[in-house]
Each structure stands twice: as structure tokens, then as C-alpha cells.
């Protein structure tokens, strides 16, 4: 139920609005009571009406046409969602006026250690000074820092789905840091809107395959968060799969219990940690989460199971990769940055079927 909300708080620019995460920011903001879209950029499509790029959004009134980033009048803008590709983002953000609040959906500022960035993304970081000010925006776990941030690095989709359940368990020492194995499955929208052969309907429908086995770029991001939580270096086994579906992500985390810890302890720790969080749901015993149940939403559903292997637990976490895994969490963060309730504009229910 929407209640009466304040009139516009912020004028928003969406940088890189022609991709899926940009589109998703626009879709979600179309029902947001306090943010107005004032600029949309897409360098290669500059000059086009937005509905030529995303015809389904012809129904949003008063959308600005796409323009080049260089043509944005920044004095009329309060905040930006940065949906640009990895590597191109650092310089863009470095060039923005200081008054602009930024949520960056790329990977460019997620790794605190810029040498890790260089190692995994194949090039020197171009804005190491900015990196130091950036807050990593896993909202439920960094709410206060986000509220005070000027620039937020929005987490990756896989890291979001993994860290939400595992960080509290590592912090409290309920699970071991060793031998954490994550088998993850993502909808195809996670790979973006660029025309690539392996993403064609005929190539991707009705089939499943792993990719990036042993060396996916979300590994260091996951390890950064888990290591912080554990207070020691954590390494994970992480294998992502491409699923024949547009949206949705499941991370199956196979973990070892600390001495004397039970499944009930895990459940009660996670229920306690997230009991006041609108978007995190710990499912009843025996119920496995289903990506379908969070489609189009900012929710994360978590199931906790005893493993047949003694001393082990199975933790299953699902999100919509484009919402809680990207644009929804970005808006959740921006809400906090403007002092709004974090749920603002994000309470749509799942589209099912």
C-alpha cells in the first residue's frame, strides 16, 4: 500500500540507459514518488527517444531523450545511477561534479584493493583516490555507511546473493571459513544486452552450462566481503551457470558448521539478523527458495538445510539478478542516500507466473 509521500526529492540521471540495468532503473523509478528522471545517456544512441531503445517504456510519461554524457547539464541533476560497462566507469565518475550523489552499478569500485582490480579486470585502476571514499552498498549490511556516502559501489549480483546469507554466519563464527563451495545459477540477462552468439535464444534456450569455471570475476568481490566478516582471509570455490531463463539467480552455498553448531543455530542467527529487513526472507524449514518467487522484485529468499554429510549445511539463496542483484538494490541505496525509507518505490510483488 502506498502512502502519501513527499514530492520530488531528487533529479536523477541514468548513465548508460540502453542496457538492461539502465532500463530496470527506469522501470522501477517510474513508480517512485521522490525521484524524477531528468537525464538519460547512451552515447551510441544519443538523440533517440528512449522508447526507440525500449519500446515497452513508451508508456512512461515525459521521458527525456537519450543524450551523450558530455551533454548532461549537471547543475540540474542531483544524483546519478551509473550503468556503464566495467572499466569505462572510473573516469566518468571521476569527472562528475562534487554535488552529484552516485550509485555505480559497474564493478569498477567494488574492490577496495585496487591491485585486485588490476589483477581481475586486466588494467590499472584509473581513479584510486575515489576508490577510498566509495562505500560498498550491500544495503542490509552497510546501511549506515550508505546513508552517509556520496558514491556507492553497488554489489555484483552473485556477491549479493552469496554475502547476504554468509556474512552474518561468518561474523558470528557459526560456519567455518574453509571449504565454502558455491554453485550459482543465473538468468541470461546477467550477461547484458549486447548481441553475442552464445546469448541467442537458439543457443541458450533449453540448455544449461557452467562458465568462468575456477576464475569468475565475482570471486574476489565475494572473498572481500566474506574475509571482512570472518576477520581472516577466506577463499571460495565458485562456479556460475547460465540458466535458460531471462531473470533470476540462485546461489547454493555448501558450508561447514563450526564445532557444536546446528542447523537451528544458523536459522536463528539469520532470522535474528534480518528480522527487521523488508527485503530478506528466511523461508520456513524444508522450503527451498524458487527464483520465480522473486522475479521482478527486490526480495532475497533464503532456505537453510541440513546436509547428508555430517557437519555440513546447505544454504540456498535466490534473488532477481536485475533487481536486488542490480538496479533495485541501487535504488534502495539511493533512497538511503536521500534520507528516504529504503523500500520507497520497491514494493512491487513478483510477476508470477
- 195 grid coordinates: 548481441
Contact between 196 and its own copies by CB under 8 A: the answer reads yes
Q: Which residue's CB is nearer to its own copies, number 87 or number 283?
A: 283
Cα–chain center distance at 229 = 19
**60 secondary structure, DSSP code:** S
Scan residues 78-137 and list those touching its own copies (CB under 8 A): none
- CA pseudo-torsion sign 319, 328, 238, 275: negative
Is residue 351 a contact point for its own copies (CB under 8 A)?
yes
Furthest CA-CA distance within the chain: 63
Does 65 bind its own copies (CB under 8 A)? Our answer is no
Q: What are phi and psi of 308, to 5 degrees?
A: -65, -30
Does residue 157 carry a catalytic annotation?
A: yes
Count residues binding its own copies (CB under 8 A). Answer: 94
Query: Where in 26-45 is the site for its own copies (CB under 8 A)?
Result: 27, 30-33, 36
Q: Which is nearer to its own copies, 74 or 121 (CB)?
A: 121
At 182 the three-state DSSP class reads: strand
Burial per residue of 176-190, b for 16 or more beta-carbon CB atoms within 10 angstroms, e otherwise: bbeebebebbbbbbb
- Provide the minimum distance between the beta carbon of 134 and its own copies in the complex, in angstroms, as a whole number: 25
Provide the minimum distance between the beta carbon of 22 and its own copies in the complex, in angstroms, as a whole number. 12
Q: Of 129, 144, 148, 206, which one interacts with its own copies (CB under 8 A)?
A: 206
Among 71, 91, 113, 179, binds its own copies (CB under 8 A): 179
| CA triple 245-249-254, angle to 5 deg | 130
Site string for its own copies, 211-230 (x = CB under 8 A): x-xxx---x-----------
Our finding on whether 294 is near its own copies (CB under 8 A) is yes
Min dist CB 116 to its own copies, Å, is 14
- HSE-CB at 89 with a 13 A cutoff on CA atoms is 27
> Which of 200, 255, 193 has its CA nearest to residue 222?
255
Closer to its own copies by CB, 172 or 246: give it. 246
Query: Does 209 participate in binding its own copies (rule CB under 8 A)?
Result: yes
CB of 287 to its own copies, least distance (A): 7
| Smallest distance, its own copies to C-beta of residue 279, A | 8
Residue closest to 226 by CA, chosen among 238, 212, 239, 240: 238
Q: Could you count the other beta carbons within 10 Å of the beta carbon of residue 63?
A: 18
Residues that are catalytic? 157
Amino acid at each position: 500500500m502506498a502512502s502519501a509521500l513527499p514530492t520530488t526529492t531528487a533529479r536523477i540521471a541514468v548513465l548508460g540507459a540502453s542496457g538492461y540495468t539502465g532500463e530496470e532503473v527506469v522501470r522501477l523509478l517510474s513508480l517512485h514518488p521522490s525521484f524524477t528522471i531528468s537525464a538519460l545517456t547512451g552515447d551510441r544512441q544519443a538523440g533517440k527517444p528512449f522508447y526507440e531503445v525500449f519500446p515497452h517504456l513508451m508508456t512512461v510519461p515525459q521521458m527525456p531523450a537519450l543524450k551523450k554524457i558530455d551533454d548532461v547539464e549537471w547543475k540540474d541533476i542531483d544524483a546519478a545511477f551509473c550503468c556503464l560497462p566495467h572499466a569505462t566507469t572510473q573516469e566518468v565518475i571521476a569527472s562528475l561534479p562534487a554535488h552529484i550523489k552516485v550509485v555505480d552499478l559497474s564493478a569498477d569500485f567494488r574492490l577496495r584493493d585496487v591491485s585486485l582490480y588490476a589483477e581481475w579486470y586486466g588494467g590499472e585502476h584509473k581513479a584510486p583516490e575515489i576508490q577510498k571514499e566509495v562505500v560498498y552498498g550491500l544495503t542490509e549490511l552497510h546501511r549506515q555507511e550508505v546513508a552517509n556516502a556520496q558514491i556507492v559501489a553497488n554489489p555484483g549480483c552473485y556477491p549479493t546473493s552469496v554475502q547476504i546469507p554468509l556474512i552474518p554466519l561468518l561474523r558470528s563464527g557459526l560456519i567455518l571459513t574453509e571449504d565454502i563451495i558455491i554453485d550459482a545459477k543465473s538468468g541470461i540477462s546477467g550477461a547484458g544486452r549486447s548481441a553475442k552468439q552464445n546469448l541467442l535464444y537458439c543457443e541458450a534456450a533449453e540448455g544449461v552450462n557452467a562458465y568462468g569455471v575456477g576464475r569468475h570475476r565475482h570471486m574476489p568481490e565475494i572473498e572481500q566481503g566474506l574475509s571482512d566478516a570472518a576477520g581472516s582471509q577466506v577463499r571460495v570455490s565458485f562456479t556460475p551457470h547460465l540458466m535458460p531463463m531471462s531473470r533470476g539467480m540462485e546461489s547454493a552455498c555448501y558450508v561447514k558448521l563450526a564445532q557444536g553448531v546446528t542447523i537451528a543455530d544458523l536459522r536463528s542467527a539469520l532470522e535474528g539478523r534480518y528480522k527487521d529487513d523488508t527485503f530478506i526472507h528466511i523461508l520456513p524449514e524444508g522450503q527451498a527458495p524458487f527464483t520465480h518467487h522473486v522475479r521482478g522484485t527486490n526480495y532475497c529468499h533464503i532456505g537453510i538445510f541440513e546436509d547428508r554429510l555430517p557437519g555440513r549445511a546447505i544454504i540456498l539463496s535466490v534473488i532477481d539478478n536485475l533487481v536486488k542483484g542490480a538496479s533495485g538494490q541501487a535504488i534502495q541505496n539511493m533512497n538511503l542516500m536521500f534520507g528516504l525509507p529504503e523500500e520507497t518505490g520497491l514494493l512491487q510483488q513478483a510477476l508470477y507466473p
